[in-house]
Amino acid sequence: MSDHIEELSIKKKNRGGRPSNSIWKDINKGEAVSSGKFAAFCKYCKNTWSRNKISKLEEYLSNYCPD
């Protein structure tokens, strides 16, 4: 539960799609590496990224993650 993640999703107002923070239910968020990029770890397939964009992680979850 992090308040500032909530704020980010409110600003984005991604209508019709999943909220941008929904991937964090499936992916563990690591450190912010640079603007818009994070270290991350998939809870399902154990894939890890040393840095990746949220949009790429969303794409990964919907298209490539085996689960």
Q: How far is the CB of 15 from Zn ion (least distance, A)?
A: 26
27 touches 42 (CB < 8 A): yes
Looking at the Cβ atoms of 32 and 64, the one nearer to Zn ion is 64
47 touches 64 (CB < 8 A): no
Looking at the Cβ atoms of 42 and 54, the one nearer to Zn ion is 42
Q: What angle do CA 37, 19, 58 make, to 5 degrees?
A: 45
Q: How far is the CB of 11 from Zn ion (least distance, A)?
A: 27
Q: Which residues in this chain contact Zn ion in the complex, by CB under 5 A?
A: 42, 44-45, 47, 65
